[in-house]
Amino acid sequence: MAKLLKILLGLILLAGAATGVYAFSRGARKADGGMKLVDAQTGSIIEKAVAVGQIQPRQKFSVKSKISGIVRVCRVQVGDRVKAGDPLFEIGPDPTPLELTGVDRAVESAKATFQRAQLEFDRAEELFRQGITAKSDVDQKRESFELAKVALNKAEQDRDLTRKGSLAKTATTGLESIIRAPAAGTILTRLVNPGDPIVPLTSYQPGTEMATIADMSDLIFKGTVDEIDVGKLHVDLPARIKVGALPTDVVTGKVSRIAPQAQQKEGATLFDVEIELDANPKITLRAGYSANADLIIREKKNILTIPERLVLWEDGGKKSFVEIPDEKAKGSKVEPKKVEVELGISDGMNVEVVSGLSKGDKLVQRPPKEIS
Per-residue confidence (pLDDT) for residue 365, from 0 to 100:
87
Per-residue confidence (pLDDT) for residue 12, from 0 to 100:
57
Q: CB neighbours of 169 closer than 8 A, spacing ≥ 6?
A: none
Per-residue confidence (pLDDT) for residue 15, from 0 to 100:
53
Per-residue confidence (pLDDT) for residue 155, from 0 to 100:
87
Task: Give yes or no for a contact between 365 and 312, defined as CB atoms under 8 angstroms apart.
Answer: no
Kindly give the parts of the chain with pLDDT less than 70. Answer: 1-34, 94-96, 164-176, 329-334, 370-372
Residue 70, CA distances (Å) to 167, 192, 193, 200, 369 in order: 17, 10, 10, 11, 73
- Amino acid at site 175: L
- Amino acid at site 326: D
Three-state SS string over 22-72 comes to HHHHHHHHHHHCCCEEEECEEEEEEEEEEEEEEEEECCEEEEECCCCEEEE
- The per-residue pLDDT for range 237-288, each reduced to its tens digit, is 999 999 999 989 989 999 999 999 999 988 899 999 999 999 888 898 999 9
Beta strand 81-82 with 238-243 is unpaired
Per-residue confidence (pLDDT) for residue 37, from 0 to 100:
85
- The per-residue pLDDT for range 15-52, each reduced to its tens digit, is 554 444 343 334 334 435 567 888 888 888 888 899 99
Residue 83, CA distances (Å) to 52, 87, 119, 180, 186 in order: 33, 9, 51, 9, 9
Residue 215, CA distances (Å) to 60, 152, 159, 179 in order: 7, 44, 38, 19
Domains of the chain: 49-57+216-299 (2.40.30.170), 62-93+177-214 (2.40.50.100), 97-163 (1.10.287)
Closest-CA residue to 295 (of 274, 264, 267, 265): 274
Q: CB neighbours of 162 closer than 8 A, spacing ≥ 6?
A: 93, 95, 99, 100, 103
